[in-house]
A = this chain, B = another copy of it.
Amino acid sequence: MKYSLNSKKVAEAAHEWLANRGVRLEDIADITHTLQQDYYESLTFEECLASVEQVMSKREVQNAILTGIQLDLLAEEGKLLSPLQEMIEHDEGLYGCDEILALSIVNVYGSIGLTNFGYIDKLKPGIVNMLNDKSGPRKHTFLDDIVGAIAASASSRIAHRKQEEIENKGLVPPAP
């Protein structure tokens, strides 16, 4: 049978795999809300969730999600070859391919997402902290970075849209 890309199937898989790994879009939107509410008083959780959903609709984001979760799953099952198995299984600090994949998500929404991504990665708010818990059988070496990158991208997207709103209404933007 001839191969043919099925974009709808890819998008659905990205959502399903994320859910199967215990991550709800609401958890990601929570991080975005926490990060951005100091800058935009009127920002609602619903706006953050809508922004996360928009980020999830991008093909690059879906590709990174599928690739990262696949590697996490294989590491969990011990099916990667040594020494890659050990590096991913133990979230080796000098192994940076997880940050690389996450960066490809952040880049789609411009460089202002970079800072938020680094900040989330260090502070590990909410779901990122749970994913980063190394005590259980689950390995989320890639997923914690990917979730942080989606939250950072959604934040970046909100910053762009809030500016639009301000300009359309003729309002003055908040102090930077």
Chain A residues with CB under 8 Å of chain B are 2-10, 13, 17, 59-60, 63-64, 66-67, 70-71, 73-74, 79-84, 86-87, 89-97, 99-101, 103-104, 107-108, 110-112, 114-122, 159-160, 163-164, 167, 172-173, 176
Residues of B within 8 A of A110 (CB): 59-60, 96, 104, 108
A sample of 19 cross-chain residue pairs with beta-carbon separation below 8 angstroms, ordered by A number, consists of A2-B172, A5-B86, A7-B163, A7-B164, A7-B167, A9-B82, A17-B81, A59-B160, A63-B96, A67-B71, A92-B176, A97-B104, A99-B111, A99-B114, A107-B108, A108-B108, A115-B118, A117-B118, A119-B122
Residues of B within 8 A of A66 (CB): 81, 83-84, 87
Selected from B8, B59, B73, B118, the residue in CB contact (under 8 A) with A118 is B118
Number of copies: 4
Q: Helix, strand, loop or mixed for chain A's interface?
A: helix
Asked if residues A100 and B101 are in contact (CB atoms below 8 Å), the reply is: yes
Bound form: Cα–Cα A160–B60 in Å: 11
Q: How many whole Å from A101's CB to the nearest CB in chain B? A: 6
The residue on B at minimum CB distance from A59 is B94
Asked if residues A83 and B173 are in contact (CB atoms below 8 Å), the reply is: no
